[in-house]
A and B are shown apart, each in its own frame.
Chain A
Amino acid sequence: MSRFLIRTFLCALAVPGLFAQQTEVVLSATSSAKLVLAMTSPKVTGLDEAKVGTEFTAVLKRDLDETGVIAMLQEGLPADAAPVKAWKEAGAQWLLSTRFSRAANGDLQLEASALDTAAEKGVFTRTYNANRIVPLRHLAHYLADDLVGRLTGEKGVASSRIVFVRQLSPGVKEIFQVDRDGAGLVQLTRHGSLTLSPTVAPDGRLAYVTYKGGAPEIWGQRRKDGPHEKFYPLTGAGGMVSTPVWSPDGKRLAFVQGDRRGNSDIMVLDLLTGRARRLTDGNGISTEPSWNPQGTQIAFTSDREGGPQVFLMQDDGSNLRRLTGEGLYNASPAWSPNGAMVAYVSRFEGKFDLFVYKLGEGKAYQITTGVSTSESPAWSPDERRLVFTSNRFGSSQLFTTDLSGRQIVRLTELSACQSPRWLRGR
């Protein structure tokens, strides 16, 4: 699997001057808040030790490093057989041991346990069984997710996936899926046409826009793993339709309908009745709807007051209010999974950067810092990271960042990617 990983510790100090007009504070991720975890070498019987090293141990370390809550102890490690006290003195708070064995039928078993080095007592024990077709790296993802779950109360997202759009040739874009670590690329649509704006329901159902019939149409899956079928418009020509977004309960789709006078409105399509309802009032452009986690409010972009700005409204169109204050171009809102933040992009001096608006504080924080254009933020399911597109290495590619903007990871080496969406894998 080709995978290219970059940790970029951006020089945050050089930039705040430039962005002072938009930025209040740069979020800081303090490593002291992370749990320091050390890992003994896996005990392996019945399979290749080198393979476990590359396909499990290395993957697990990378996974845990990206969690944002666990720091891997990398240096000054005691010998595997050293007493717990030695690990504690080396700085480890938890000590993780793993043991692989193979059953007679070829199935794999992984026993993992973690010890609190201070209390010298077990904090985590779990056994994973896998048949031949489950790759070792998936076991690493499962273990990383469960360790995070044990630590924070919410499962990690190592086994999550990212759905996105990729250009195959000029005028032809299709929807793809890739594992969070850049492995397991799968093509999800084959329309041979412009196919855009994927959205994934909590149960995995896909919806998107395709131009396969000439004019844009919303397509998607009515049931889990079902066929892709046309959702809207069911009859006649729909004009410009774009940007479908599943409601959190997966029963409705917010989308955008443009009219021939140049207005674009946020609509909501009820999948059960097939009825579409207009929420905005034909006042210029309203687009990029994003639901709050309760499905009661929608954030969106509108140029009703001049340039594009982020607004909020109830899911019936009432209680409209502007969210973003500063900057001339604020767009692409993404409501966080827990509802307390809205990520968006803002343009300053020709570059687009990611910002996060904390609703409780009424303040916006800058995440990326003007190195190049960063677009299309989407939240990780655990709300700790954002996936986005950037042209920092040329053609638009996928990256993830933590909320400090200091730990930016390149997701894939694929070029011409856009519109990423992040979803849980299991």
Chain B
Amino acid sequence: MRYGIYLVPAAIVLTLGSLACKPPKTAEEIKAETQAAFNEGLQAFKDGKARETNPYATAKDAKAIPHKIQGWNDGWDKGAADKAAADKAAADQAAADRAAAEAKAAADAKAAAEEAARKAAEAEKAAAFRKAADAALVSIHFDYDKSEIKEKDRAILQGISDFMKAFPAAKLEIEGHCDERGTNEYNLALGNKRAAAALAYLKTLGVDEARFTTISYGKEKPLCTEAKEACWSQNRRGEFKLK
């Protein structure tokens, strides 16, 4: 029994001894623990916890684990820094996007304005073309069974020539027409002769004859159908149609 007196302190000594003699942690272990704490700190930041909630700072053995405290804090700081960087990047991107959108809108508006201006110019040009065509493309008239260009129609043909020179892309069909007197077939030939006479005259005014086609309608398309000279004289005509 008397050995017991020694056994208890021995046990205590052994125990304390064993505690006191716990071997020191290796560098790898510390590094691993630091990394683990770092990850915890990073996660804590992501979870929205405050930096003051570092569990290692309030642990009983806080003094023994400064690397964990530091690791946790580093992790939390890293999370905060990453977020700040991401926020900034997002803000920068948004700003860049806004700027790009604004630039594109401006460019679009400019293009639209240019297109509208071009269309307006085109429409104006077309209107001018139509107006010029309406003014220039006046019918000429012929004497009965004749295809000679009349003196009084020369101004009309000059106007047509001016029109063709002002609008180099314009092409015309010259139609020859006749009055109802005479045979259908002979009048088709006579209408061709009238269209040809107009073509020949325009050629002498310097317009390329390739820009004209000729067609004869003979007496098949009268403007007026009464059997009197007032009507016949209207029907003996050369018409100029845009092609």
Please provide the chain A residues from 233 to 291 with a CB less than 8 Å away from any CB of chain B in the complex. 237, 239-240, 242-243, 256, 258-264, 284-288
Nearest-CB residue, chain B, relative to A167: B220
Interchain nearest-CB distance for A338 vs B (Å): 24
B184/A239 in contact, CB under 8 A: no
Question: Secondary structure of the A side of the interface?
Answer: strand
Distance, CA A262 to CA B145, complexed state (A): 13
Distance, CA A123 to CA B87, complexed state (A): 124
Interchain nearest-CB distance for A115 vs B (Å): 48
B181/A347 in contact, CB under 8 A: yes
- Contact partner of A376 (CB less than 8 A), chosen from B181, B184, B190, B213, is B184
Q: CB of A350 within 8 A of chain B?
A: yes
Distance, CA A419 to CA B185, complexed state (A): 9
Distance, CA A215 to CA B241, complexed state (A): 14
Nearest-CB residue, chain A, relative to B145: A307
**In the complex, chain B residues whose CB is within 8 Å of the CB of A214:** 215
**In the complex, chain A residues whose CB is within 8 Å of the CB of B193:** 258, 262-264, 284-285
B183/A260 in contact, CB under 8 A: no
**In the complex, chain B residues whose CB is within 8 Å of the CB of A194:** 217, 220-221
Q: CB of B132 within 8 A of chain A?
A: no
B145/A170 in contact, CB under 8 A: no
Nearest-CB residue, chain B, relative to A264: B189
**In the complex, chain B residues whose CB is within 8 Å of the CB of A263:** 193, 196
A196/B184 in contact, CB under 8 A: yes
- Contact partner of A331 (CB less than 8 A), chosen from B182, B196, B209, B215, is B182
Please provide the chain B residues from 133 to 160 with a CB less than 8 Å away from any CB of chain A in the complex. 145, 147
**In the complex, chain B residues whose CB is within 8 Å of the CB of A284:** 193
B185/A197 in contact, CB under 8 A: yes
Please provide the chain A residues from 136 to 170 with a CB less than 8 Å away from any CB of chain B in the complex. 170
Size bin of chain B's contact surface:
20 to 34
Q: CB of B200 within 8 A of chain A?
A: yes
Interchain nearest-CB distance for A217 vs B (Å): 12
- Contact partner of A242 (CB less than 8 A), chosen from B182, B188, B200, B209, is B188
**In the complex, chain B residues whose CB is within 8 Å of the CB of A352:** 181-182
Please provide the chain B residues from 195 to 243 with a CB less than 8 Å away from any CB of chain A in the complex. 195-197, 199-200, 209, 213-218, 220-221, 227
Interchain nearest-CB distance for A2 vs B (Å): 24
B145/A288 in contact, CB under 8 A: no
Distance, CA A239 to CA B176, complexed state (A): 12
Nearest-CB residue, chain A, relative to B225: A395
Instruction: Check A287/B189 contact, CB under 8 A, given A197-B184, A329-B182.
Output: yes
Question: Using a CB–CB distance below 8 Å, which chain B residues touch chain A?
Answer: 145, 147, 181-186, 188-197, 199-200, 209, 213-218, 220-221, 227
Additional A-B contacts beyond A242-B185, A285-B193 (14; CB < 8 A): A171-B220, A196-B188, A197-B184, A216-B216, A242-B218, A258-B189, A258-B192, A260-B214, A262-B192, A285-B186, A287-B185, A288-B183, A376-B183, A419-B184
30 interchain pairs, CB-CB under 8 A: A170-B221, A194-B220, A196-B220, A215-B215, A216-B215, A240-B189, A243-B188, A256-B185, A256-B189, A258-B188, A258-B192, A259-B196, A262-B147, A262-B194, A262-B195, A262-B196, A262-B197, A263-B196, A285-B186, A285-B190, A301-B183, A301-B185, A307-B145, A308-B186, A332-B183, A332-B186, A350-B181, A352-B181, A375-B184, A418-B184
